[in-house]
Amino acid sequence: MTEDLSPVDRAKFAAARRAADLVEDGMRVGLGTGSTAAWLVRCLGEAVAGGKRIRGVPTSRRTAELAREVGLEVVTLDEARWLDLTIDGADEFDADFNLIKGGGGALLHEKIVATASDRMVVIADAGKEVGTLGAFALPVEVIPFGWQTTRALVEETLAGLDVLGRDITIRMNGEAPFVTDEGNHVLDLHLRRIGAPHRLAMALNQLPGVVENGLFLDICDTVVVGHGDGRAELRDLDPGGVQEDRFEIAEPANLFRDLDD
pLDDT tens digits along 114-153: 999 999 999 999 999 999 999 999 999 999 999 999 999 9
Asked whether the predicted pLDDT for residue 43 surpasses 60, the reply is: yes
Neighbours of 5 (CB within 10 A): 17
Say what the pTM is.
0.91
| φ, ψ of residue 214 in degrees (nearest 5) | -90, 15
Residue 82 burial class via C-beta count within 10 angstroms: exposed 0-12, middle 13-18, buried 19 and up: exposed
Which residue is catalytic, options 24, 46, 110, 175? 110
Within the chain, what is the greatest distance between any pair of CA atoms? 54
Asked whether the predicted pLDDT for residue 44 surpasses 50, the reply is: yes
Residue 239 pLDDT: 61
Average pLDDT over residues 102-109: 97
Residue 223 pLDDT: 97
Q: Are 197 and 95 in contact (CB under 8 A)?
A: no
How far apart CA 201 and CA 215 sit, in angstroms, is 6
What is the band of 260 on the pLDDT scale with cuts at 50, 70, 90?
A: very low
Q: Regarding predicted confidence, which is higher, 238 or 112?
A: 112
Q: Which residues contact 143 (CB under 8 A, 6 or more apart)?
A: 150, 184, 185, 209, 211
The DSSP output letter for 253 is: P
User: Could you say which architecture CATH assigns to the domain 138-214?
Assistant: 2-Layer Sandwich (3.30)
**Which CATH fold would you assign to the domain 2-128+218-256?**
Rossmann fold (3.40.50)
What is the band of 38 on the pLDDT scale with cuts at 50, 70, 90?
A: very high
> Could you read off the pLDDT of 241-256 as tens digits, one per residue?
677 776 666 544 444 4
3-state secondary structure of 186: strand
How far apart CA 43 and CA 62 sit, in angstroms, is 16
Average pLDDT over residues 76-92: 98
Average pLDDT over residues 188-193: 98
Percentage of the chain exceeding pLDDT 90: 88
Residue 248 pLDDT: 63
- Helices (H) and strands (E) counted in the chain, each on its own, are 7, 17
How far apart CA 245 and CA 238 sit, in angstroms, is 19
**CATH 3.30.70.260 domain residues, the chain:** 138-214
Residue 241 pLDDT: 64
User: Please, what sign has the CA dihedral across residues 125, 169, 138, 184?
Assistant: negative
110 is catalytic: yes
Average pLDDT over residues 50-62: 97
Buried b (16+ CB within 10 A) or exposed e, 156-179: ebbeebebeebebeebeeeeeeee
**CATH 3.40.50.1360 domain residues, the chain:** 2-128+218-256
